[in-house]
Amino acid sequence: MENKPFANQPRSSRDWLTWLIVGLIAGVLASFLVGGIGYGLLGDVIVGIVGALIGGWLFGRMRWRTPISGLGGMILVAFVGSVLLLLVLRLLRQAT
């Protein structure tokens, strides 16, 4: 019998935890790359989660595949979407 850290949790709580982890990692990495706009920890998580949605849509539309599978691939897609989101937000900030 394997010792799985989240084996006794319902699937939905693991899914939420995965989204939060992916969002945090992707949001922080994108913030560092774009230059740190300064949304804070919660803002980075939100940027990462929204970026994951944008990245998933973009990768699906363009029929791109990630070279990494599993959690790493999810983070890569979320990172790409997060960078795009932060660049658009930066352009909007400069326009106002």
Interval 11-32: pLDDT, tens: 666 788 888 899 899 999 998 9
Q: For residue 68, what pLDDT is reported?
A: 86
pTM over 0.85: no
7 domain residue, yes or no: no
pLDDT in tens, 48-91: 999 999 999 999 999 999 888 888 999 999 999 999 999 998 89
65 domain residue, yes or no: yes
For residue 74, give every residue at least 6 positions away whose Cβ sits within 8 Å of its Cβ, in sequence order, or none: 18, 22, 52
25 domain residue, yes or no: yes
73 is in which domain, residue-wise? 12-95
- Distance between CA atoms of 51 and 39, rounded to whole angstroms? 14
6 domain residue, yes or no: no
| Collapsed DSSP state (helix, strand, coil) of residue 66 | coil
8-state DSSP, 10:
-
Q: For residue 6, what pLDDT is reported?
A: 46
71 domain residue, yes or no: yes
Q: Which amino acid is at 11?
A: R
Q: Count of domains in the chain? A: 1
Q: For residue 37, what pLDDT is reported?
A: 60
5 domain residue, yes or no: no
- Distance between CA atoms of 79 and 9, rounded to whole angstroms? 27
80 domain residue, yes or no: yes
Kindly compute the dihedral angle of the four CA atoms of residues 75, 38, 54, 69, in this order, to the nearest 10 degrees: 0
